[in-house]
Amino acid sequence: MVKLLLFEYRKHFFKKSIVLAILLFSVLNVAKIYSVYDQTSLLSKSTGSDWNDLYWEMYKDFGGTMTNEKIEKLMSIYGPLDKQTADNTASTATDNPNTYTGNVYNDTLFFRWNFVNPMEYAYMYRNYANDVVTVAQENMTLFESLGNQYEYRKNAAIVDRFKGRLISDFSYVEMYENYVHYDFSAFLVIMICIYVLMNVFVSEKETEMDVLLLTTKTGGTKTVIAKIMSSAIFVFIVCSWFWLIDFSAFATIFGSLEATVSPIYAIENFANSSIGISLGAYAVLSSLLKTAGILVLSLVFLLISILFKKALFPFIISLFATFGFIYLQEMYMGSGRILLKTINPFVLVVNRELFRKTEFVNFFGYPVISYVPALLFAAAWGTVCILGMMILARKNTVNGKGGKVRVINNL
């Protein structure tokens, strides 16, 4: 079986065209990440203000564990600036020697956007989490009195997840903010998978080798298993390569890993996150789930391709299927239809939608956190696709021995 697996891998995936496509897409991916930095980062030169050096100089004073001394020092700088610019009558000179950036308005924006607002969010998050716990506890009392056990259990789960939450350190989170919302590399990987996997089953059919393989000892089911396993290995390697590029490029271009140990809710968009792990741990978890999601999609592509004799039709159908998954994901993203969102295997690819909020699915009166059914549905998708391929391979074996005509395979 190992020899067959290696043979299938070399035959389908050790090709110059595939390597070149991966390298080309890797360069494109890095270029895209740089454009994200250039267009979104407050510290990039495209903002029109060279804040980078000043930021890291100030970060030495205000970064790390938040203390009253740091907050007082920050406000002693920002307070006067805010007052001077409140009525828009301050000097607009750009070469003022008594300012940090040459302009008092620019100073105000620099400290407000880079330090005051993000530090205020981090400092006040404990109060926000406590308010969530208080409201949930009040809801527990209410729903218990009404006999609504599902809502009671759901609010109890919210209390467990939010109780004791706080952000003790002020960190530069801009790199992780952009990293967790970056999906372009996943789209590139899916395109590579569609392009490569279409030939895994079709190549033998185009040359009628599939009929000949049925007469060998390793033909039929064993060959199908080897093709599926070699495809899964390929998907895992390509995903790992691109996720490594993503993290390395973001860390290098943004120039910091400061927030790696900060909790995921240090990103304001994840204030209601259902998990409390660090951003570094979430980067690993997200990569694993994206890989799992793309693996499931790849199994769908393989199932489609096994139905045809030519690669063009399954390629087009797989493209439409991918866009369909993306459309459904956009349709139900942020909606209250949580179950419908979790059925879509593409939700694992953009898995921040599973963790950005604390959402539950009603499972016979018990609240189940949304990422659990998402994983179960993805496993079901994968299982159905594998079983489908095995059944179709067995039918092809019967048809090959009995001489029956395979209509759909002639397309």
Taking the chain (411 residues) in consecutive chunks of 10 residues, what is each chunk's mean pLDDT? 72 86 96 95 81 93 94 94 88 86 92 95 96 97 95 96 95 95 96 91 64 53 85 95 97 93 96 95 97 97 88 91 93 82 94 93 93 96 93 64 45 53
**What's the one-letter identity of residue 173?**
V
- Output the CA torsion 13→17→19→21 (10° steps): -120
Going through 74-227 in order, the beta strands assigned E by DSSP cover: 169-170
pLDDT of residue 403: 46
> pLDDT at position 405, please?
40
| Domain match, 134 and 188 both | no
Residue 405 has which token pair?
A: 């005509």
Helix axes of 117-146 and 68-85: crossing angle, nearest 10 degrees: 110
Answer with the one of 109, 143, 170 that is the final residue of a domain. 170
Task: Tell me what pLDDT residue 407 has.
Answer: 38
pLDDT tens-digit map of 248-282: 999 999 999 999 999 999 999 999 999 999 999 99
Asked if residues 189 and 242 have their Cβ atoms less than 8 Å apart, the reply is yes
Residues 6+ apart with CB under 8 A from 369: 157, 274, 358, 359, 360, 361
d(CA 338, CA 347): 11
Helix (H, G, I), strand (E, B) or coil at 221: helix
Whole-structure pTM value: 0.88
pLDDT score at 94: 82
What one-character DSSP code corresponds to residue 114?
I
Per the domain annotation, does 59 fall within a domain?
Answer: no
Other CB atoms within 10 A of residue 34 CB:
15
Same domain, 310 and 213: yes
In a domain, 96, yes or no: yes
**91: containing domain:** 64-170
Rounded Cα distance, 183 and 242, in Å: 11
Instruction: State whether 319 and 401 are in the same domain.
Output: yes
Q: Supply the pLDDT for residue 401.
A: 47
Whether 266 and 396 map to the same domain: the answer is: yes
Q: What does the DSSP 8-state code read for residue 97?
A: T
Task: Let me know if residue 249 belongs to a domain.
Answer: yes
Structure tokens at 349: 């690819």
Residue with tokens 């999609």: 297
Write down which residue in 170, 194, 226 finishes a domain.
170
Assess if residue 50 is contained within a domain. Answer: no
H-run or E-run covering 363: strand 360-363
Q: Residue 194 is which amino acid? A: I
The pLDDT value recorded for residue 333 is 80
232, 333 contact by CB (below 8 A)? no
**Count of the separate structural domains present in the chain:** 2
Domain assignment present for residue 126? The answer is yes
Task: State whether 264 and 224 are in the same domain.
Answer: yes
Instruction: Give the tens place of pLDDT for each residue, 356-404.
Output: 999 999 999 899 999 999 999 999 999 999 999 888 877 655 554 444 4
Q: How far apart are the first and last CA of the chain?
A: 31
146 and 181 housed in the same domain: no
Give yes or no: residues 138 and 261 share one domain.
no
Alpha helices in 258-410 (DSSP H): 279-305, 312-332, 338-343, 352-355, 371-402
Q: Say which residue the tokens 């956007």 belong to.
A: 113
Task: State both tokens at 296.
Answer: 């499931």
**Do 257 and 402 lie in a common domain?**
yes
Alpha-carbon torsion 307, 313, 314, 318, what sign?
A: negative
pLDDT tens readout for residues 179-205: 999 999 999 999 999 999 988 887 766
Query: Would 188 be classed as within a structural domain?
Result: yes
In 93-223, at which residue ranges do the beta strands (DSSP E only) sit? 169-170
Distance of alpha carbon 66 from its chain centroid, rounded?
A: 30
User: Do residue 232 and residue 88 come from a single domain?
Assistant: no
Residue 256 lies in a domain: yes
Where is 79: in which H helix or E strand?
helix 68-85
Measure the CA–CA gap between 96 and 80, rounded to whole angstroms: 15
Residue-level pLDDT at 336: 76
Task: Give domain status of residue 48, yes or no.
Answer: no
Residue 186 and residue 120 share a domain: no
Same domain as 89, residue 209: no
φ and ψ at residue 351, rounded to 5 degrees? -65, -10
Parallel/antiparallel/unpaired status of strands 366-369 and 169-170: unpaired
Sequence-separated (6 or more) residues with CB below 8 Å from residue 25:
188, 191, 192, 242
The set of long-range contacts for 49-56, using a CB threshold of 8 Å and a minimum separation of 24, is 49/101, 49/106, 49/110, 51/101, 51/110, 51/114, 52/255, 54/100, 54/101, 54/110, 55/110, 55/114, 55/172
Q: Quick count: other Cβ atoms within 10 Å of Cβ 253? A: 19
Site of tokens 């267009």: 39
Last residue of a domain, one of 170, 204, 233: 170
Q: Are 234 and 313 contained in the same domain?
A: yes
Q: What pLDDT was estimated at residue 76?
A: 94
